[in-house]
């Protein structure tokens, strides 16, 4: 038990004890006296060179042939179209928040694009349709260049050596998936840019943590909050980033709470409020701001109308629903359409057979069914059950009790406790002669959303017709009656009154032409408070997003992403045999996975060893691995694992944010493996010392004890080999990334690295 | 001696601010008195062995103490049995899921093979109760039917209710093991006793009472084992570890939710081993011993119990029955009374066959006169386990191109490897067909459809037979029924006919998707088929053949089929299941369940938790979370509210209960399948303990008077509501409107009106 490692561990314990700091309080015990800032200056210089080189290289790699193909590629179908809608101020609906699309629209606006093109099909020509697509693509492409710079800067600010920073940024730069995705009119470039900016800001914030509440501290805290909000305003996956930052902040606060830190509770609460303001209030405000802009721009009725409630649609200019809507009054003849199945309530002069095939017995009443195309037998008259004035028409409001008369046969709608033809659990719906069985013919009209005094209108209000006597709702479902029912859809009484499919919409009033009447009336545009619009849209986005379960031929499982066993065919051109196939750099992705495994393995082994009082990894190095690399792996996990629980259709490009985080982790692991010495502290400034003192070099006396990690020749050789392989793999796959040049069958076959890659022109 | 090492000093001082828990110092004397404990004990007595208390010098007093505990447990059992047994046969109709489980029990008595999504142990016990009741398995258990006089359903219900009744003494004993006070332990037992939902579900022929019993037994054995931590590798330590493993095995063999109990014990064990890893003093050998003991007792033993339950299941069900279709063709052939043994051996042109997918869980190639709603909109081809005439296919001559020579047909032509055939669906006359259109679900494969008829069709109707292996013959040239495994390759497209456990939506009647696999994988079971049924009158009768399938293969096959069927129990968006509920409704008691018809002239049973018990339990979970955070924050500020050993017990018990509740509850949120109220019952058990546990904790410093007042109030409320709501579980006769006052929440569908 007295091996040297154990002794080492004990030393560290003593050190930290002397300093009065816990494990997580990275106080850099042995750095207090031996930081050598002068040693950092040349590396700062070289950092500048390194950063410039990758950024310039990134510019060329990203913008290479950005004008090609001059056709609509994959999801440009959606996002190009959405940008166009902003320019035409037409309301549309999308599952993603608005920011990135508005950025694209802003670029389009600046170059004078009017948004006329519909981006209908992959392969539609931009040149023929006169779309400034290069300008539109330039936005994500430029942001990708910034992403590369951010990758470098994140590593630099985390205290990694020039070699590691350069390697990490270059690996990211030479990734086929990222290049392919980020030079097209899609949202991922914005997403990753804001995500990396958040990570960068948070690291900067952490570095100034000992200058509590200083201007710089506040600036980086707010920068974190703002960029986080921007990420979330691009795509909902920004929530994963919020979760990651949230976890870090909670851990940070937990450490601050530790009594050994000597912070009073009041002071702690001040910290808490600062973070609540910077990371919750400000982001929430910014997030909502973009929706405010969204609603302010989109004032015209458009394809998004039908996704929203009728109250919302009324706020749009020329909305179709408003043009078609009319107030419904007693004794009007109306058509009723079932909202879910779009079938019309119908009855005809035929009766239910006495005995069904399964032996059950009916009431032999007149059939009530639902049909696709309304006819003369689909008119229903709303009859009052209360005294109404004869002089002027009386409208129907929420909660009114009515009778429904079938105009064609002059009978009254009724339901009773007799099993329906197809469902023994539901009630049969039939009609009886006027004035018969009065109590069983009463129905209550209940609107789906109602304010006091709302009037039942065609199209605007969906209603449930609830039977007063037996408490069932008139309902229909996609099952057809046998021949005796002419194959119409069955209508019955549903005992589950809260069923979402109980709703019916009145579509027409006999003898009234809605369009003409409404043209004359020229209705005013209503307004509803922004917050209601926001909440409604958010709810619909979420439910629609989880509803995207329709299988897509190029969808893939989350498990296949890091293994890259499947890509996505974005675009292809038959005559030149060119294609864009979105897939990652095989070398880089597998190396990233190896990095992750090494990291996890090292941490697990070290944790177990420490449990046995053996420090396998030295304490400062472990802190670095936990705090910096640990942050990266947390980001990777949170951007990847949640997809396993998602029911919607998933695609490889959902992994790109995680892939970027994985490259950061790979950089950290590279440093750990090949630059063995321990690094200098990442925080420039320590607490209780003014900034000025810190910036001045401490003096040559401590030069030899510098903890700045120095790469060796071996390090450079390995980095060069990794970079060369990444470059080779990138170039090899680049025809699939840039969509040119065309490849022969043989060449395509050679690029089919995994059998799951369904490349075009492979046969 | 290792087991002499103790965590606490022998003379533990009882803390001044808390009343002494009855056995807070029980460990001190155990080993010293160890020699007293030889001889045979019943399990229950053994659990009491550790209670010996050296503080009681007088043996008489000591026995009185022991006697008191036993008498409480026995009294509780008696009361519990009375509440469970009383008026058990009041309703003589088949209530609710008795229709399923009674029927499954009957299959064991008839020895007929059936299929169900649950493992067999619970249903075998139902079968056992029927056997003991002298029932011969002939009753069909149709829902709502009256029991015929020859079925002693009362005995069968009593048998089930006994398991449910045993929850109460178990709850008491578990609580004492958690070192709760006498009052709190009694309260825990009373809450279990007075829960109307537990009462109601225990009184019918269902699996839930057994599931609950084994779940509670696992918690009890774990709690005893935990208290033996300081006597590692002693006899009783081993005994309780083994018992934990056995009860885990049993709960797992009743329903798969037992996995959550396994997870709870697993997490406890992981933490325990992690703690021990930190103990640098412990010899490495001993540490390894801890690992090995747990692997044997908590992994190997449960696995053996689970496997054994299936072994018995297969052994009892030796006759062919309604569940045949789920199993491999070979398994079916060995069941008594199965027609497969009459199959002619070699398949020839003109034979009528059914074709079975070989992969685990594979079904029979099926078609029916319904069309794909999208894609080609031709006739659907699916895989299906139920045996009906729509599974029959004729083996016909392929389509020949015009310039191709049509071979002479003379007499019987046996199928050989490489032969090209056309498969005709006999019921509709359509040909098995594929085309370059994406399959409905797995869009990376081609769709397979029924197309054309005898005269109309094209070359894409042709399939080439590629024999892969034969289980009984070495020769791979001939196609034999049952034993030959082959692939069907579409001649035109080169893809392989395949099926997998992906379920079609409602339009495909939840049958399995069939596709044509483009990938051409040679190691894929999903594209492997065998002939199951084979009819051809021209062919000679088969030789006597005894097929043997491997137990492990059958076991996996059945478990895969259970898994797939379980996943197919997804909510049907087209119709609302009035019985189903969502997990979020459960802890708030915002849902009840009607267990039978609601007519005035029948006994009505309404499955609803005792609201006071449930709300108290759910509330105490929230209270514990808050308390936990509170203590953690205080600890971070170095404020210690409890003595170390107190706080250790508080966190151990609280964590175990909370985790037990969470593990049994949270998974239902991500489960795709339909969920019902009774899925919450195992979870509830853990939360029930939380209330007395916290009451104990919070009133520890209060005076005896206050304690009595608080506990008295809770006891009264629990028992009062129980008596008030008891008719829900004992059956309500007459119009339900007379119970209208009991509808505390409008969400309860006790009445039809809203």
Closest CB to B638: pick one of A259, A471, A611: A259
The answer on pLDDT for A399 being more than 90 is no
Give the residue from chain A lying closest to B749, CA to CA. Answer: A496
Closest CB to B576: pick one of A257, A470, A499: A499
Is B32 near chain A, with CB under 8 Å? no
Q: pLDDT band at residue B407, thresholds of 50, 70 and 90?
A: low
* Section B646-665 average pLDDT: 93
Query: What Cα–Cα distance (Å) separates residue A567 from each residue in A45, A72, A556, A655, B364?
Result: 40, 19, 8, 11, 34
Q: Which CATH architecture best describes the domain B340-567? A: Trefoil (2.80)
pLDDT at B571: 64
Angle at B239 between CA B233 and CA B241, to 5 degrees: 75
* Contact map slice: A 497-526 vs B, CB within 8 A: 497, 499
| A350 contact partners, CB below 8 Å, separation of at least 6 | A366, A367, A484, A485, A486
Is B638 near chain A, with CB under 8 Å? yes
The two three-digit tokens of residue B226, written as one number: 């935990």
- Closest C-alpha among A189, A166, A220 to residue A62: A189
DSSP codes joined into one string, A538-596: HHHHHHHHHT--S--TT---GGGTTTT---EEEEEETTTTEEEEE---HHHHHHHHHHH
Q: How far apart are CA B706 and CA A4, in angstroms?
A: 59
Residues of A in contact with B280 (CB under 8 A): 1, 612-613
pLDDT tens readout for residues A611-653: 888 888 888 888 888 889 999 999 999 999 999 888 788 899 9
Residues of B in contact with A611 (CB under 8 A): 274, 277-278
Helices A133-157 & A162-173 angle (0-180, nearest 10): 150
Instruction: Specify the range with the lowest mean pLDDT, choosing from A81-85, A701-705, B274-278, B693-697.
Output: A701-705
Residues of A in contact with B574 (CB under 8 A): 477-478
The two three-digit tokens of residue A435, written as one number: 């004035």
Closest CB to A477: pick one of B277, B574, B753: B574
pLDDT at A120: 86
pLDDT at A44: 61
pLDDT tens readout for residues B457-486: 888 888 999 988 888 777 778 888 888 889
Query: According to the per-residue pLDDT averaged within each range, which of A604-613, A658-667, B638-647 is highest?
Result: A658-667
pLDDT tens readout for residues B370-388: 888 888 888 999 988 888 8
pLDDT at B45: 46
Is A8 near chain B, with CB under 8 Å? no
* Section B33-61 average pLDDT: 48
Q: How far apart are CA A577 and CA B242, in angstroms?
A: 67
Q: Are strands A578-582 and A489-494 parallel, antiparallel or unpaired?
A: unpaired
CATH of domain A320-524: 2.80.10.50
Is B746 near chain A, with CB under 8 Å? no
pLDDT tens readout for residues B264-303: 999 999 999 999 998 888 898 999 999 999 999 999 999 9
Residues of B in contact with A612 (CB under 8 A): 277-278, 280
Question: At CB < 8 A and 24+ separation, what contacts does B49-55 make?
Answer: B49/B236, B50/B26, B50/B224, B50/B227, B50/B228, B50/B236, B51/B23, B51/B26, B52/B26, B53/B23, B53/B25, B53/B26, B53/B29, B54/B28, B54/B29, B55/B25
Q: Measure A192 CA to nearest chain B CA, in Å.
A: 29
Residues A744 and A760: beta-carbon distance below 8 Å: no
Q: pLDDT band at residue A196, thresholds of 50, 70 and 90?
A: very high
Bond prior to A69 in cis (omega within 30° of 0): yes
* Section A21-45 average pLDDT: 43
Q: Percentages helix, strand, coil for chain B, rounded to the nearest 5?
A: 50, 15, 40
pLDDT at A27: 38
Closest CB to A497: pick one of B441, B443, B754: B754
More confident residue, A514 or A761: A761
Q: Measure A293 CA to nearest chain B CA, in Å.
A: 36
Is B40 near chain A, with CB under 8 Å? no
Instruction: Specify the range with the lowest mean pLDDT, choosing from A19-33, A492-506, B118-132.
Output: A19-33
Closest CB to A259: pick one of B280, B637, B752: B637
Closest CB to A471: pick one of B519, B636, B754: B754
Give the residue from chain A lying closest to B752, CA to CA. Answer: A471
Query: According to the per-residue pLDDT averaged within each range, which of A117-126, A357-366, A719-728, B21-30 is highest?
Result: A719-728
Residues of B in contact with A496 (CB under 8 A): 576, 578
Q: pLDDT band at residue A20, thresholds of 50, 70 and 90?
A: very low
Closest CB to B636: pick one of A259, A495, A551: A259
Mean confidence (pLDDT) of chain B = 84
DSSP codes joined into one string, B412-451: --B-BTT-EEEEEETTT-PEEEEEEEE-SSSTTSEEEEEE
The 3-state secondary structure of B372-404 reads CCCCCCCEEEEEECCCCHHHCEEEECCCCCCCC
Does A553 contact B438 at a Cβ distance shorter than 8 Å? Answer: yes
Suggest the residue from A417, A568, A612, A647 to mutate for an interface test with chain B (most B CBs closer than 10 A). Answer: A612
- Closest C-alpha among B200, B305, B589, B268 to residue B260: B268
pLDDT at A701: 35
Q: How far apart are CA B464 and CA B492, in angstroms?
A: 10
Bond prior to B397 in cis (omega within 30° of 0): no
pLDDT tens readout for residues B108-145: 999 999 999 999 999 999 999 999 998 888 888 888 88
The two three-digit tokens of residue B510, written as one number: 């939840």
Q: pLDDT band at residue A355, thresholds of 50, 70 and 90?
A: confident
Interface A-B: count of C-beta contacts within 8 A: 41
Residues B120 and B253: beta-carbon distance below 8 Å: yes
pLDDT tens readout for residues B489-521: 998 888 899 988 888 877 888 888 999 988 777
pLDDT tens readout for residues A79-102: 999 999 999 999 999 989 999 999
Residues of B in contact with A495 (CB under 8 A): 578
Does A495 contact B574 at a Cβ distance shorter than 8 Å? Answer: no
Does B574 contact A478 at a Cβ distance shorter than 8 Å? Answer: yes
pLDDT tens readout for residues B740-753: 888 888 888 887 65
Residues of A in contact with B575 (CB under 8 A): 477
pLDDT tens readout for residues B297-355: 999 999 999 999 999 999 999 898 888 888 888 888 888 888 887 788 888 888 889 99
Does A497 contact B670 at a Cβ distance shorter than 8 Å? Answer: no
Does B638 contact A551 at a Cβ distance shorter than 8 Å? Answer: no
pLDDT tens readout for residues B140-161: 888 888 899 888 899 999 999 9
The answer on pLDDT for B608 being more than 70 is yes
Query: According to the per-residue pLDDT averaged within each range, which of B339-343, B579-583, B625-629 is highest?
Result: B625-629
The domain limits of chain B are 21-66, 340-567
Closest CB to A755: pick one of B442, B519, B633: B519
The domain limits of chain A are 4-292+561-750, 320-524
pLDDT at A677: 55
Query: What Cα–Cα distance (Å) separates residue A322 from each residue in A164, A314, A513?
Result: 61, 6, 13
Residues A422 and A379: beta-carbon distance below 8 Å: no
Suggest the residue from A23, A496, A565 to mutate for an interface test with chain B (most B CBs closer than 10 A). Answer: A496
Suggest the residue from B370, B373, B375, B443 to mutate for an interface test with chain A (most A CBs closer than 10 A). Answer: B443
Residues of B in contact with A264 (CB under 8 A): none
Q: Measure A604 CA to nearest chain B CA, in Å.
A: 13
Q: How far apart are CA B24 and CA B8, in angstroms?
A: 11
The answer on pLDDT for A699 being more than 80 is no
Q: How far apart are CA B704 and CA B700, in angstroms?
A: 9
């Amino acid at each position: 038990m007295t091996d040297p490692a154990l002794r080492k561990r004990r030393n560290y314990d003593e050190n930290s004890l002397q300093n009065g700091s816990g494990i997580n309080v990275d106080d850099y015990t042995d750095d207090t006296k031996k930081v050598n800032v002068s040693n950092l200056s040349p590396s700062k210089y070289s950092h500048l060179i390194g950063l410039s080189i990758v950024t310039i290289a990134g510019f060329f790699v990203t913008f290479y042939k950005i004008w090609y193909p001059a056709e609509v590629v994959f999801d440009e179908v959606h996002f190009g179209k959405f940008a166009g809608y902003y320019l035409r101020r037409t309301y549309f609906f999308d599952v993603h928040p608005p920011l990135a699309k508005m950025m694209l629209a802003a670029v389009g606006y600046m170059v004078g694009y009017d948004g006329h093109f519909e981006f209908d099909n992959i392969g539609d020509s931009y040149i023929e349709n006169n779309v400034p697509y290069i300008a539109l693509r330039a936005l994500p492409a430029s942001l990708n260049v910034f992403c590369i710079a951010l990758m470098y800067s994140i590593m630099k600010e985390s205290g990694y050596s020039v070699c590691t920073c350069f390697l990490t940024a270059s690996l990211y730069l030479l990734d086929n998936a990222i290049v392919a995705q980020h030079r097209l009119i899609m949202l991922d470039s914005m997403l990753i840019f804001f995500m990396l900016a958040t990570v960068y800001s948070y690291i900067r914030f952490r570095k100034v943590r000992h200058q509590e509440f200083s201007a710089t501290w506040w600036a980086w805290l707010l920068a974190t909050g703002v960029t986080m909000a921007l990420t979330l305003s691009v795509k909902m996956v920004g929530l994963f980033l919020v979760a990651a930052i949230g976890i870090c902040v909670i851990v940070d606060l937990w450490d601050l709470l530790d009594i050994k830190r000597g912070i009073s509770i009041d002071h702690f609460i001040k910290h808490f409020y600062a973070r609540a303001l910077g990371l919750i209030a400000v982001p929430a405000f910014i997030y909502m701001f973009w929706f405010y802009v969204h609603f302010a721009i989109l004032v015209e009725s458009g394809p998004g109308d039908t996704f929203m409630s009728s109250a919302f649609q009324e706020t749009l200019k020329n909305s179709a629903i408003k043009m078609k809507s009319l107030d419904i009054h007693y004794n009007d003849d109306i058509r009723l359409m079932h909202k879910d199945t779009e079938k019309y309530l119908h009855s005809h002069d035929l009766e239910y057979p006495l005995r069904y095939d399964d032996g059950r017995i009916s009431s032999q009443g007149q059939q009530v069914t639902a049909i696709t195309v309304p006819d003369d037998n689909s008119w229903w008259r709303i009859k009052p059950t209360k005294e109404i004035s004869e002089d002027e028409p009386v409208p129907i409001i929420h909660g009114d009790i009515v009778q429904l008369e079938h105009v064609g046969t002059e009978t009254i709608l009724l339901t009773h406790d007799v099993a329906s033809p197809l469902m023994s659990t539901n009630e049969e719906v039939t009609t009886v002669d006027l004035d018969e069985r009065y109590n069983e013919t009463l129905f209550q009209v209940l609107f789906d959303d109602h304010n006091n005094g709302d009037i039942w209108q065609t199209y605007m209000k969906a209603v449930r017709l609830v039977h007063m006597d037996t408490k069932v709702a008139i309902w229909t479902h996609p099952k057809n009656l046998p021949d005796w029912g002419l194959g119409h859809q069955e209508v019955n009484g549903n005992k589950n009154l809260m069923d979402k499919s109980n709703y019916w919409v009145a579509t027409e009033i006999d003898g009234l032409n809605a369009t003409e009447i409404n043209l004359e009336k020229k209705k005013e545009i209503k307004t509803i408070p922004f917050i209601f619009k926001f909440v409604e849209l958010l709810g619909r986005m979420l439910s629609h997003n989880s509803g995207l379960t329709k299988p897509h031929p190029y969808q893939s499982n989350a498990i296949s992403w890091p293994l890259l066993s499947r890509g996505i065919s974005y675009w292809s051109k038959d005559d030149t045999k060119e294609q864009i196939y979105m897939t990652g750099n095989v070398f880089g992705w597998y190396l990233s996975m190896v990095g992750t495994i090494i990291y996890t393995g090292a941490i697990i082994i070290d944790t177990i060893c420490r449990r046995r009082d053996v420090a396998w990894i030295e304490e400062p190095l472990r802190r670095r691995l936990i705090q910096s690399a640990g942050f990266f792996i947390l980001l990777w996990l949170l951007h990847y694992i949640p997809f396993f629980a998602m029911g919607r259709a998933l695609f490889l490009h959902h992994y790109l944010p995680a892939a970027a985080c994985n490259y950061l982790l790979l950089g950290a692991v590279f440093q750990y493996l090949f630059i063995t010495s321990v690094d200098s502290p990442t925080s420039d400034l320590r607490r209780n010392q003014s900034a000025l003192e810190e910036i001045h070099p401490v003096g040559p006396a401590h030069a030899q004890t510098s903890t700045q990690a120095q790469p060796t020749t071996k390090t450079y050789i390995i980095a060069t080999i990794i970079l060369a392989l990444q470059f080779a793999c990138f170039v090899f796959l680049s025809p699939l990334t840039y969509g040119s040049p065309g490849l022969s069958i043989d060449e395509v076959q050679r690029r089919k690295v995994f059998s799951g890659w369904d490349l075009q022109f492979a046969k | 001696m290792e087991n002499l090492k103790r965590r606490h000093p022998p003379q533990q001082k009882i803390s001044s601010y808390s009343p002494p828990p009855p056995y807070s110092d029980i460990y001190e004397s155990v080993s010293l008195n160890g020699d007293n404990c030889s001889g045979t004990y019943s399990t229950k007595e053994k659990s009491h062995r550790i209670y010996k208390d050296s503080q009681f010098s007088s043996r008489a007093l000591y026995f009185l103490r022991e006697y008191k505990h036993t008498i409480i447990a026995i009294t509780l059992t008696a009361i519990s049995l009375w509440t469970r047994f009383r008026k058990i046969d009041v309703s003589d109709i088949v209530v609710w899921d008795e229709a399923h489980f009674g029927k499954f029990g009957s299959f064991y008595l008839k020895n007929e093979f059936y299929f169900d999504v649950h493992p067999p142990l619970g249903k075998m016990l139902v079968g056992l109760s029927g056997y003991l009741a002298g029932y011969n398995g002939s009753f069909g258990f149709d829902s709502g039917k009256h029991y015929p006089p020859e079925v002693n359903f009362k005995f069968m219900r009593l048998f089930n209710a006994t398991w449910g009744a045993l929850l109460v003494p178990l709850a008491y004993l578990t609580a004492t093991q958690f070192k709760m006070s006498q009052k709190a332990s009694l309260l825990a037992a009373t809450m279990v006793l007075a829960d109307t939902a537990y009462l109601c579900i225990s009184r019918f022929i269902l699996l839930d009472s057994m599931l609950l019993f084994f779940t509670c037994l696992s918690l009890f054995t774990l709690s005893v084992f935990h208290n033996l931590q300081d006597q590692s590798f002693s006899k009783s330590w081993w005994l309780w570890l083994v018992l934990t493993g056995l009860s885990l095995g049993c709960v797992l063999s009743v329903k798969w939710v037992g996995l959550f109990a396994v997870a709870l014990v697993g997490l406890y064990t992981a933490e325990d081993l992690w703690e021990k890893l930190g103990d640098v003093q412990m010899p490495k050998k001993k540490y390894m011993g801890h690992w090995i003991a747990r692997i044997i007792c908590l992994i190997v033993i449960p696995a053996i119990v689970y496997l054994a339950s299936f072994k018995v299941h297969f052994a009892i069900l030796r006759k062919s029955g309604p569940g045949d279709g789920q199993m491999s063709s070979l398994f079916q052939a060995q069941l008594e009374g199965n027609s497969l043994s009459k199959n002619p051996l070699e398949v020839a042109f003109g034979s009528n066959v059914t074709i079975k997918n070989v992969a685990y869980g594979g079904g029979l190639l099926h078609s029916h006169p319904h069309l794909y709603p999208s894609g080609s909109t031709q006739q659907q081809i699916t895989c299906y386990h139920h045996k009906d005439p729509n599974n029959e296919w004729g083996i016909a001559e392929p389509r020949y191109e015009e310039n191709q020579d049509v071979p002479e047909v003379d007499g019987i032509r046996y199928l050989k490897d490489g032969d090209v055939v056309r498969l005709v669906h006999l019921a509709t006359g359509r040909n098995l067909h594929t085309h370059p259109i994406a399959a409905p679900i797995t869009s990376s494969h081609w769709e397979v459809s029924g197309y054309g008829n005898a005269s109309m069709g094209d070359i894409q109707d042709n399939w080439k037979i590629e024999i892969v292996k034969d289980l009984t013959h070495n020769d791979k040239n001939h196609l034999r029924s049952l034993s030959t495994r082959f692939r069907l390759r579409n001649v035109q497209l080169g893809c392989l006919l395949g099926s997998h456990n992906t379920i079609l939506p409602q339009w495909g009647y939840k049958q399995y998707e069939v596709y044509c696999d483009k990938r051409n994988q040679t190691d894929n079971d999903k594209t492997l088929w065998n002939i199951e049924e084979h009819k051809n009158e021209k062919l000679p009768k088969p030789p006597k053949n005894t097929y043997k399938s491997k137990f492990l293969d059958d076991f996996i096959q059945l478990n895969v089929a259970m898994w797939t069927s379980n996943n197919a129990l997804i909510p049907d968006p087209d119709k609302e299941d009035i019985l189903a509920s969502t997990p979020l409704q459960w802890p708030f008691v915002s849902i009840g369940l009607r267990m039978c018809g609601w007519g005035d002239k029948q006994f009505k049973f309404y499955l609803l938790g005792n609201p006071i018990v449930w709300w108290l339990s759910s509330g105490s979970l929230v209270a514990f979370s808050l308390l936990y955070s509170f203590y953690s924050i205080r600890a971070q500020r170095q404020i210690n509210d409890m003595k170390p050993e107190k706080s250790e017990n508080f966190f151990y018990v609280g964590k175990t209960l909370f985790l037990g509740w969470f593990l049994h509850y949270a998974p239902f949120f991500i489960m795709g399948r339909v969920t019902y109220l009774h899925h919450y019952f195992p979870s509830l058990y853990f939360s029930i303990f939380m209330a007395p546990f916290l009451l104990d904790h919070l009133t520890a410093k209060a005076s005896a008077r206050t304690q009595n007042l608080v506990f008295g109030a809770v006891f009264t409320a629990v028992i009062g509501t129980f008596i008030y709501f008891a008719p829900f579980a004992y059956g309500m006769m007459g119009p339900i409107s007379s119970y209208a006052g009991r509808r505390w929440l409008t969400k309860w569908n006790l009445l039809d009106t809203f």
